[in-house]
């Protein structure tokens, strides 16, 4: 129950164990076509260029930046946590100029600051921001930010690593141009692949580049020869066949549940987890209206050592929760509630374990208080209790 990777279902594990076949085998090509459709559903897009990059989420990020940023381009980069900072590094390594819009960790990207930056830099080509900041659990208003970008003739690059499958994400409706995610969060597939999607506007920008894409492996002009439509494919690289089996099955599971149902499930179990954590005296880093239900960042109680608690949870309960990153290291815990791991049993198990360890360490918490608070929340919403 950390910030990822999340638990993987038995169905996905079974899919990973299927016989390995050739990456140009007709049956594998058929599955690739199915997977593109399933990813389009998950992203809520009709973008033809919607594929899984054969590497983790960080490679999905680089795919967006290396294909869209050219030397000399101005890119407005929003930083409100660790992963916005990585966007800035990408821009600078590619010879672009990063104009930083900064907000405090634990807060969302401020649309007013973004609008001011867009007005001050009419030459800007791209607006880049993190939809779901994994380091804090803050969820920014992607719809508003993308609208501002379009009004100033900017493309958008959006990090949805933690939001895809867990909270509303509507690529076409919101007008996102380039989006990347990961498999190991709310999709509950093993890490190692990065779903991406590019709008027709983004594809046109890639084709109109003056400078060649600096990465051969991530050059979409080449990759699309392999991930094109139908059975006629050009060899580009040996795809991670079994990992793609796993992602395909995870996407089938998501489609069976239905996106809206998955979003509602994450929200309802978050509310129960929140009730239990607050019963232990913990405070959330992010304001309620801006919180990700699947990534819960809470302050560590005064006088309690971060490492001691996490080590006890792992040793005594076989339970992992995440430490704080960057400016929040040693100050917060990040508790994941993602995908296959998002259910009542995990909520109550996590709260009971945390309650027990904190009581043992003299944190002044009542035995059983956390689970009782969560159960009261479930009793008030019976439909969530059975999920």
How does the average pLDDT of the chain come out, rounded? 95
> What is the arithmetic mean of pLDDT over 37-61?
97
Residue 229 is predicted with a pLDDT of 56
- Residue range(s) of every CATH 3.40.640.10 domain in the chain: 10-256
- Is residue 161 within 8 Å of 134, Cβ to Cβ? yes
Q: Which residues does 243 contact at the CB level (< 8 Å), separation at least 6?
A: 16, 183, 189, 190, 192, 193
Q: Name the architecture of domain 259-385.
A: Alpha-Beta Complex (3.90)
Decide the pairing of beta strands 295-299 and 322-323. Answer: unpaired
> What is the arithmetic mean of pLDDT over 95-107?
98
Q: pLDDT band for position 247 (50/70/90)?
A: very high
Decide the pairing of beta strands 74-79 and 97-102. Answer: parallel
> What is the arithmetic mean of pLDDT over 129-149?
97
Q: pLDDT band for position 63 (50/70/90)?
A: very high
Tokens 């994400």, residue? 169
Q: pLDDT band for position 23 (50/70/90)?
A: confident
pTM over 0.75: yes
Q: pLDDT band for position 384 (50/70/90)?
A: low
Beta-strand runs (E) in the chain: 49-53, 74-79, 97-102, 126-130, 132-133, 138-139, 155-159, 178-180, 194-198, 295-299, 322-323, 332-336
What percent of the chain is helix, strand and coil (3-state, nearest 5)?
Answer: 45, 15, 40
- Is residue 197 within 8 Å of 45, Cβ to Cβ? yes
Q: pLDDT band for position 386 (50/70/90)?
A: low
- Is residue 360 within 8 Å of 326, Cβ to Cβ? no
Alpha-carbon distance values, 265 to 207, 248, 269, 338 (Å) = 40, 21, 6, 10
- Residue range(s) of every CATH 3.90.1150.10 domain in the chain: 259-385
The tens digit of pLDDT for each residue in 182-239 reads 999 999 999 999 999 999 999 999 999 999 999 999 999 999 888 875 556 788 899 9
In CATH, which of 1.20.1270.10, 3.40.50.2020, 3.40.640.10, 3.30.390.10 is domain 10-256?
A: 3.40.640.10
Q: Classify residue 230 as left (phi > 0), alpha (psi -120 to 50) or beta.
A: left
Residue 387 is predicted with a pLDDT of 57
The tens digit of pLDDT for each residue in 149-164 reads 999 999 999 999 999 9
């Amino acid at each position: 129950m950390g910030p990822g990777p999340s638990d993987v279902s038995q169905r996905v594990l079974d899919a990973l164990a299927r016989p390995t076949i050739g990456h140009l085998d007709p049956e594998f090509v058929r599955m690739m076509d199915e997977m593109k459709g399933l990813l389009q559903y998950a992203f809520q897009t009709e973008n033809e260029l919607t594929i899984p990059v054969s590497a983790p989420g960080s490679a999905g990020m680089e795919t967006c930046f290396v294909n869209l940023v050219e030397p000399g381009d101005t890119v407005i980069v929003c930083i409100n946590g660790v992963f916005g900072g990585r966007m800035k590094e990408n821009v600078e390594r590619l010879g672009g100029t990063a104009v930083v819009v900064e907000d405090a960790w634990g807060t969302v990207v401020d649309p007013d600051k973004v609008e001011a930056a867009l007005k001050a830099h009419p030459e800007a080509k791209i607006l880049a921001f993190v939809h779901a900041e994994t380091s804090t659990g803050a969820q920014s208003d992607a719809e508003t930010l993308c609208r501002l970008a379009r009004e100033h003739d900017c493309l958008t690059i959006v990090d949805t690593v933690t939001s895809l499958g867990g909270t509303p994400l509507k690529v076409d409706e919101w007008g996102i141009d380039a989006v990347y995610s990961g498999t190991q969060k709310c999709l509950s597939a093993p890490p190692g692949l990065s779903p991406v999607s590019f709008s027709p506007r983004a594809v046109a920008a890639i084709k109109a580049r003056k400078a060649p894409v600096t990465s051969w492996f991530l050059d979409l002009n080449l990759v699309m020869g392999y991930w094109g439509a139908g059975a006629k494919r050009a060899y580009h690289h040996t795809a991670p066949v079994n990992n793609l089996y796993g992602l395909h099955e995870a996407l089938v599971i998501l489609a069976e549940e239905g996106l809206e149902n998955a979003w509602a499930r994450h929200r309802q179990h978050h509310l129960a987890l929140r009730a239990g954590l607050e019963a232990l005296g913990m405070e959330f880093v992010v304001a309620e209206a801006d919180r990700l239900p699947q990534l819960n960042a809470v302050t560590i109680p005064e006088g309690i050592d971060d490492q001691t608690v996490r080590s006890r949870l792992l040793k005594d309960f076989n339970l992992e929760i995440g430490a704080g990153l960057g400016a929040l290291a040693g100050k917060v815990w990040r508790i994941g509630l993602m995908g296959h791991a998002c259910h009542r049993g995990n909520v109550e198990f996590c709260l009971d374990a945390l309650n027990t360890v904190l009581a043992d360490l003299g944190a002044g918490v009542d035995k059983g208080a956390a689970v009782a608070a969560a159960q009261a929340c479930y009793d008030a919403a019976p439909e969530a209790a059975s999920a």
